[in-house]
Amino acid sequence: MKEVFALLKPRFLSFKNRSISGSLRGRKLRFLVFGTFGLLFWGGTFSIFYRVLIYFQGLEAFGDILAYKLLSMVLITFFSLLIFSGILTSLSKLYLSRDLSLVHSMPVSREKIFLSRWIESTIDSSWMVLIYSLPFFLPYGLVYKGGAFYYAMLGVNLLPFCLIASSLSSLIVMAAAMFLPAGRIRSVFIFLGLLLFLLIILSFRLIRPERFVRPESFIPVVLYLRDLETSHSPFLPTTWFFDSLRAALSGCMGSAFFNSALSWSCAITMIFVATWVSGAFYFKGLSKAQIAPKRLFFLFSAKRARYGIFTNLFSGPARAFVVKEIKTFIRDQTQWSQIFLVVALIVIYLYNFSVLPMDRGPIKMEYLQNLISFLNMGLAAFVLSAVSARFVFPAVSVEGDAFWIVKSSPVSIRTFLWIKFFVYFLPLLLLSELLIVLTNVLLHVTPFMMVLSVVTVFLMVPGIISMGIGLGAIYPDFQSENPAQSVTSLGGLIYMTLCIGFIASVIVLEAGPVYHIFMTGIRHVRLSGIQWLWLVTSFSLVLFLCVMALLIPMRLGEKRIHQYEMGH
């Protein structure tokens, strides 16, 4: 085991040495902000789940069934999450890490290398799932008065639960690496994971929880739930965990210990099997992983791609950057799965509007439709900000080590940034307008509201994109292995905060005048002089704000990039 710990040492030492390098202030601030958000989310989940369980406990006959069914579903969800997260981390640790050449040139057996990587992978893939599983598990002990024994059994069961999931993930990855290059496996698994995630969301949406507003549809659900108390497969780790917790809650110590013993024996066996398999197959798979994956589609190959109409708008060097931007974006398969996710979420977004039970609300329908449409402008702009945070904000950082080409090329930094701007502006403008028009059509809004939404979104989109490009240039990270993650940096945080501030300001500025226009329309009266003044001032301020949001970040970004020196 000495070698296994020696292999883990660089990770530990790098963590320890973080304080020596980099901006401590930035890191503290990030920790504080993300920590606060995390804590709020944790506390919120805990209190909601606690209330749900209290509510269930109050339901006679099937309250307990519901609570235990929920526990079983939570366990299955967390187990799936652990496996999925484990697949991605073990793939990266075992086959894609940059230090693999170094580690494999050392006189250490493959099993030991595997074990050290597996330990790292288990910790990385489990810690967050573990922390966020606690708000689901802890309330059971409180509501059903499980006491110290329940919490002890929870701890005893959680560890093998993570170990089993992590071993299973590494076995899946090792098997996949025998057939697919490592780079391709990640794309495949991310795609499958997203598909699974979307299926869950879609199936939830198709149940149409809004129907529960209607009491007449509640009875069949109650009858259905009565049939739910069926036993689970005795071979699943989730069943052992569930049975152990249930036994702990009802004070059956024997059954609780027996089921956790099953979990532990399975975990130990799985680790042994995974280590044995690694001795036989890990290195073979790693050697295969060196093969560069072939491109999945040649649809966008240089010969076939036609960007003529668009690229002819630019001069020689600028055109070179535009073509490069489009080609690298399209050929980066990691973008595809995320675009797929964005598209699917937008479909769900639109579907939500199509099934809104507005006719059952207590507020007048016409008023409600237009109120939702007005707020939807903000929501659509927020969706755009989130998409931009993922795609636009890292657009400068994504140049990475190749940024010297930009610095040394005969294209000004200003042109470079504006190229980036237009590459993202056109598709995202189209997306936002499509979103707003379709939702307005589904809501049957007035022509005024339709025009207002389209114009407001048209004015806001350039600002949001410009802030993404500008702040991405102010806070570039050319060293990052995955620039998409730069959104979690301090710059990304400032970008999201500014976007929310910008959207909220526009909405607030427009809210007053729009309300008056709408009400005068309903009451068939004219706007007063003061109302006209308010309207002109508000819309002028909105225009001013949007122009400033467009120009200032680009200027600041340009200034920062001019000052940026490679290698520092």
Partner 1 sequence: MIELKNLTKRFGDIVAVNRLTLFVPEGEIFGFIGPNGAGKTTTLRMMGGVIAPTEGSVIIDAIPMAENPENAKKRIGFIPDRPFLYEKLTGKEFLRFTADLYGLDDGLFYKRSERILKQFSLDQWADDLIESYSHGMKQRLIISAAILHDPKVIVVDEPMVGLDPAGVRMVKGLFRNLAKKGTTIFMSTHTLAVAEDVCDRIGIIHKGSLIATGTVEELRLRAQVQEGDLEEVFLILTEGESVP
* The residue type at 401: D
Q: Tell me how far apart the 2 most distant CA atoms of the chain are, in Å.
A: 87
- Which of 526, 477, 403, 518 is closest to 22 using CA atoms? 477
331 part of the interface to partner 1, by CB under 8 A: no
Q: Between 289 and 381, name the residue whose CB sits nearer to partner 1.
A: 289
In whole angstroms, the minimum distance from the beta carbon of 9 to partner 1 comes to 6
6 part of the interface to partner 1, by CB under 8 A: yes
Rounded to an integer, what distance in angstroms lies between the CA atom of residue 481 and that of residue 490? 17
Rounded to an integer, what distance in angstroms lies between the CA atom of residue 457 and that of residue 460? 5
107 part of the interface to partner 1, by CB under 8 A: yes
280 part of the interface to partner 1, by CB under 8 A: no
One character per residue 12-31, x = contact with partner 1 (rule: CB under 8 A): -xxx-xx-xx----------
Axis crossing angle, helix 110-143 with helix 63-91, rounded to the nearest 10: 160
In whole angstroms, the minimum distance from the beta carbon of 294 to partner 1 comes to 8
- Span interacting with partner 1, options 205-213, 279-287, 376-384, 497-505, rule CB under 8 A: 279-287
Rounded to an integer, what distance in angstroms lies between the CA atom of residue 237 and that of residue 165? 9
DSSP codes, 43-57: HHHHHHHHHHHHHHH
- How many beta carbons lie within 10 A of that of residue 212, not counting itself? 11
109 part of the interface to partner 1, by CB under 8 A: yes
In whole angstroms, the minimum distance from the beta carbon of 185 to partner 1 comes to 16
The answer to whether 106 touches 99, Cβ cutoff 8 Å, is no
1 part of the interface to partner 1, by CB under 8 A: no
In whole angstroms, the minimum distance from the beta carbon of 103 to partner 1 comes to 8
7 part of the interface to partner 1, by CB under 8 A: yes
98 part of the interface to partner 1, by CB under 8 A: yes
Structure tokens that stand for 566 in this block: 């490679």
Sequence-distant (6+) residues with CB within 8 A of 427 are: none
- Span interacting with partner 1, options 170-178, 281-289, 339-347, 415-423, rule CB under 8 A: 281-289
DSSP codes, 205-216: HHH-GGGGGSGG
Contacts of partner 1 in 289-318 (CB under 8 A): 290-292
568 part of the interface to partner 1, by CB under 8 A: no
The answer to whether 125 touches 82, Cβ cutoff 8 Å, is yes
One character per residue 410-449, x = contact with partner 1 (rule: CB under 8 A): ----------------------------------------
- Span interacting with partner 1, options 45-53, 266-274, 284-292, 454-462, rule CB under 8 A: 284-292
> Quick one: which of 33, 39, 73, 106 contacts partner 1 (CB under 8 A)?
106
Q: Between 106 and 128, name the residue whose CB sits nearer to partner 1.
A: 106
The answer to whether 377 touches 514, Cβ cutoff 8 Å, is no
3-class secondary-structure state, position 357: coil
283 part of the interface to partner 1, by CB under 8 A: yes
- How many beta carbons lie within 10 A of that of residue 400, not counting itself? 13
- Span interacting with partner 1, options 10-18, 41-49, 192-200, 403-411, rule CB under 8 A: 10-18
Q: Between 106 and 365, name the residue whose CB sits nearer to partner 1.
A: 106
269 part of the interface to partner 1, by CB under 8 A: no
Sequence-distant (6+) residues with CB within 8 A of 133 are: 74, 78, 158
Q: Between 218 and 298, name the residue whose CB sits nearer to partner 1.
A: 298
Rounded to an integer, what distance in angstroms lies between the CA atom of residue 128 and that of residue 89? 13
Q: Between 98 and 524, name the residue whose CB sits nearer to partner 1.
A: 98
104 part of the interface to partner 1, by CB under 8 A: yes
> Quick one: which of 102, 128, 228, 543 contacts partner 1 (CB under 8 A)?
102
Rounded to an integer, what distance in angstroms lies between the CA atom of residue 556 and that of residue 560? 6
In whole angstroms, the minimum distance from the beta carbon of 114 to partner 1 comes to 13
Residue count, binding to partner 1 (CB under 8 A): 32
94 part of the interface to partner 1, by CB under 8 A: no
- Span interacting with partner 1, options 95-103, 135-143, 166-174, 403-411, rule CB under 8 A: 95-103
286 part of the interface to partner 1, by CB under 8 A: yes
* The residue type at 69: K
| Number of alpha carbons in the 13 Å side-chain half-sphere of residue 273 | 17
Structure tokens that stand for 436 in this block: 């707003």
119 part of the interface to partner 1, by CB under 8 A: no
Structure tokens that stand for 221 in this block: 């659900």
State how far the alpha carbon of 255 is from the alpha carbons of 241, 363, 533, in Å. 11, 54, 75
99 part of the interface to partner 1, by CB under 8 A: yes
Exposed/middle/buried for residue 425 (C-beta within 10 Å: 0-12, 13-18, 19+)? buried
Exposed/middle/buried for residue 69 (C-beta within 10 Å: 0-12, 13-18, 19+)? middle
Please list the alpha-helical segments (H only) found in 178-236: 182-207, 218-226
10 part of the interface to partner 1, by CB under 8 A: yes
203 part of the interface to partner 1, by CB under 8 A: no
- Span interacting with partner 1, options 2-10, 300-308, 309-317, 320-328, rule CB under 8 A: 2-10
Q: Between 104 and 560, name the residue whose CB sits nearer to partner 1.
A: 104
287 part of the interface to partner 1, by CB under 8 A: yes
> Quick one: which of 59, 108, 490, 494 contacts partner 1 (CB under 8 A)?
108
Residues forming contacts to partner 1 in the complex (CB under 8 A) are 2-3, 6-7, 9-10, 13-15, 17-18, 20-21, 98-102, 104-110, 283-284, 286-287, 290-292
